[in-house]
Chain A
Amino acid sequence: MSLIAEPLKSHLSARPSEGLSHRLSSTKSGGKLIADYWDRLFTARERGATVVWYNGAALNPIFQAAGIEWCHGEAFGARLAAMHHEEPAQKMGEEYGYINELCSYARTTLGCAVLTKRASLSEAGVSLAGADQDTPASRLPAPDFFVNAYAGCSTGQQWDEISYRLFNKQLPFFKVSYPLLWGNKPDAGYLRGEEWEDASKYVANQLYKLIEFIEAQTGRKLNWDVLRESMHYIKRASQLRLEAMALCRAKPAPATFWDWIASIAPINFLPGNQALVDYFAGVKAEIEQRLLDGVTALPNERYRLAFDGIMNWNKVGWLANKFAQNNAAVLVGRYTHNSFWQEPQLIDEDNPILGMAQHYLLCPFNHSAKVLGELMLKDCAGYAIDGVVFHATRTCRSASNGQMVMAKMAQRAGIQTMFFEGDVADAAFYKDAVLESRLEAMLETIDVRRR
């Protein structure tokens, strides 16, 4: 029985090279969707479209319903890093004065902003030599306004404050503020307690204000039908994504964390439409087919690992191969499985704002270490995990918060842990030898414990 479309079949017949991961083919269509999205955004000015630059939460359904085009700062920084095009932007940021220990997402996209504003900055006496105007980093259309909506990271808000200043404080700027889900009260916990309820309403109220702000910028009312429709598709896509993820609990697993990394961009910022649903339906179908055919992600799955932390975008393929070479199937992660519309039951399609606000609060960096540890342990149990790999992300305090506590919680539960150093978008902080030796040590320990 075949569950998938004909064009995918040829990919499925291919076997992985020795020791390497057998990545899903269906994610390639996501790559095309993403490339098309950025190419279209790059021409926004020529098409007379209104452009918003935003950071943090997935506000794109609101922008979609407002009929404007959106540029997600971190997403563009991640894309540049994944394509190894981040250097010109980071160099420009450095010339402007940003120290390399600063969040590399911020440095990269602020570098893009400096590139966009280069001429006026030079007039202001700031020396900015050596920028390549033809780099992809230079292609972002200048914004008409900014929206900041960064949960779990004070830097995220300050970053947009600086973007606003880089554009001479002349563009409209709206900020959504989030409380950290800290848990002062005994009833506090994941999706429960008075603090959760209060925070949800607080953010929802700000989203209504954001909509008023956008309406003032565009001069037209938000199309609520489009918002509801967009959230309908996003909810369906999210359900398919979670169902597909759950299929990967099988031993050996049909797909890995790296396939979910490849699927982050679509769920994070692509328009809510049928194409998004089709994408995740395709991913799920491919995984189902693999299960039917007995095709596994790794030819010799020996270890089952979890990955905590934000992605090292410069090294995605490298890391996927590194773990695969060691027969280590990375199956679950905070950044993939506990992020991006991961609680679709919260979305009321007819009245989506509260559910959207709740998802924005559920940013994987907006929880206490205790809750993060509990979520991790639940995932470890669900996926029969042998060890947790923590990506100590040099310039991201937000993703780093809580990791050492989580590691202690994992160790107390009898799960092996390891750390390796890297970064979201600055390749200079990745130390391959450190990962290599620590991974080998952890896998050896897992072997010893099995005996």
Chain B
Amino acid sequence: MRKTDEIMATLTRVADDPNAYAENWKRAHEGKVIGVFPMNFPSELVHAAGALPVVVQESRAPITLGRSLLYEYYCGYTRSLTDQAATNQFDVFDAFFLVDHCVALLGAVDAMRFELPNKPIFLAQYTASMDEAWTPPEIRKKVESLRSRLAELCGATISDGALADSIRKFNRNRQWLRRVYDLRRSGRIGITARQMQVLVKSSMVMDIDEHNASLAELVANLELEQAGGSALVRLHLSGHFCHAPPAELLDMIEECGAVVVDDDLFTGFRYISTDVVEFGDPVDALTQWYFDRNTNVPCATRAQKTVDWETYLVNSLEKSGAEGVIILMAKFCEPHMLYYPELRKELIRKEIPHLLIETEHEGLPIESLRTRVEALLEGMRRAAFASATPA
């Protein structure tokens, strides 16, 4: 069995260069590579069509030619998409699919259509309002349309059996990753936020069988670990939709004397929170998954009266023992900007220390952010000391 470091190194290489992995996969399997966009796409459908689903990642390359397709006041992820399209970074993809309705994402992908006129780009727009009785049948229609278009594109029949098999494999993957989350919350393992990001990000881009094999070995190793107790401040990282926050930011937060014990990041727990039901009609199951995910980890991009992100967040802190929250917001992310005051209000009400950090594609003023994080942690330590000291 491989050692943990060895597995992490392999997964890190994939997470750092998903397109290179996809090119190798394509050569080895002679199959199609399908780019899918966050945050609600059911990758199981692509897998069941015999293709490799890859959640398209932000590139860390500076935006150059993409500037002629999208304004600078779009989030880093969407600007990176158009830039990757304009600089021929998407050659490996045979087609792109998306279901999300984010105005910035749709604008970016529409611009990609102009830039890549020969690349099929299919939108099956999921209704974002979850409350109405007519939404589930509409989502089901969209799932069917995805199935039909993918089958046509891949020259394959997507049978119920193949879809059920894909669902099982993706569920297994999510379950392995959730096990790592459990171990992290319990303090039994000393996995860093950067490492956790690698695990989730690599699961977004790798062949599911290969990733499951890696996770099986990794989790077996981790189960044997017994990290000692930590005096570090326990933090929850929240937000950062669609793409991963810069790893150097995660490193800095931990260097300040914190340990990240949980998150609701998209490239994190949000992505792997919910399994697809494994019995019954698989299309029904994938339809239900869309609703279940938002119930389990509410998202500001959905409109649902019956769930609250802030309630979820506060409950998560109770479960993980996190003492404070750092909210990571991709600059120009409108749903997050709209919802942030609701989170803030609840965190204030519950007297939970928190800090907002906006991230930008072009880079971060890490040292000034370090000062802010240190101030947050110092305040938390002082408050803990004061409450532990008899009056």
Which A residues lie at the B interface, using CB under 8 A? 96-99, 101-103, 106, 124-126, 148, 152-155, 157-162, 164-165, 169, 173, 175, 177, 179-180, 182, 184, 202, 205-206, 209, 368-370, 392, 394-395, 397-398, 400-405, 408
Cα distance A164–B131 when bound, in Å? 14
Q: With A157-B303, A165-B342, A173-B305 as given contacts, are A180 and B101 in contact (CB-CB < 8 Å)?
A: yes
**Is B69 a contact partner of A97 (Cβ separation < 8 A)?**
no
**Is B337 a contact partner of A101 (Cβ separation < 8 A)?**
yes
CB-nearest residue of chain A relative to B69? A404
Cα distance A98–B340 when bound, in Å? 7
Encode contact with A along B273-315: 1 for CB under 8 Å, 0 otherwise.
Answer: 0000000000000000000000000001101010010000000
Cα distance A98–B349 when bound, in Å? 18
**Is A369 a contact partner of B301 (Cβ separation < 8 A)?**
no
Q: Within residues 93 to 144 of chain B, which ones have a CB less than 8 A from any CB in chain A?
A: 101-104, 106-107, 110-111, 113-114, 122-123, 125, 127-129, 131-132, 134-135, 138
**Is B342 a contact partner of A162 (Cβ separation < 8 A)?**
yes
Which B residues lie at the A interface, using CB under 8 A? 68-71, 73-74, 101-104, 106-107, 110-111, 113-114, 122-123, 125, 127-129, 131-132, 134-135, 138, 149, 300-301, 303, 305, 308, 331-332, 334-335, 337-342, 344-345, 348-349, 358
**Is A125 a contact partner of B348 (Cβ separation < 8 A)?**
yes
Q: With A175-B129, A175-B132 as given contacts, are A397 and B337 in contact (CB-CB < 8 Å)?
A: no
CB-nearest residue of chain B relative to A367? B110
**Is B125 a contact partner of A182 (Cβ separation < 8 A)?**
yes
- Contacting residue for A158 out of B70, B131, B149, B300, CB 8 A: B300
**Is B134 a contact partner of A206 (Cβ separation < 8 A)?**
yes
- Contacting residue for A397 out of B123, B131, B334, B338, CB 8 A: B334
Cα distance A246–B122 when bound, in Å? 37
B239 to chain A, nearest CB (A): 13
**Is A157 a contact partner of B102 (Cβ separation < 8 A)?**
no
B143 to chain A, nearest CB (A): 15
Cα distance A182–B121 when bound, in Å? 10
Q: With A404-B69, A405-B114, A408-B114 as given contacts, are A101 and B332 in contact (CB-CB < 8 Å)?
A: yes
CB-nearest residue of chain B relative to A127? B348
**Is B125 a contact partner of A175 (Cβ separation < 8 A)?**
no
**Is A155 a contact partner of B338 (Cβ separation < 8 A)?**
yes
**CB-CB < 8 A to A161: which residues of B?**
303, 338
**Is B103 a contact partner of A368 (Cβ separation < 8 A)?**
no
**CB-CB < 8 A to A98: which residues of B?**
337-338, 340-341
**Is B334 a contact partner of A369 (Cβ separation < 8 A)?**
no
**CB-CB < 8 A to B70: which residues of A?**
404
**CB-CB < 8 A to A125: which residues of B?**
345, 348-349
Q: With A124-B345, A124-B349 as given contacts, are A370 and B114 in contact (CB-CB < 8 Å)?
A: yes
**CB-CB < 8 A to A165: which residues of B?**
308, 342
**CB-CB < 8 A to B74: which residues of A?**
397, 400
**Is B334 a contact partner of A154 (Cβ separation < 8 A)?**
yes
Q: List 9 A-B contacts (CB under 8 A).
A: A96-B341, A153-B103, A158-B339, A180-B101, A184-B149, A400-B107, A404-B69, A405-B111, A408-B114
**CB-CB < 8 A to B123: which residues of A?**
180, 182, 184
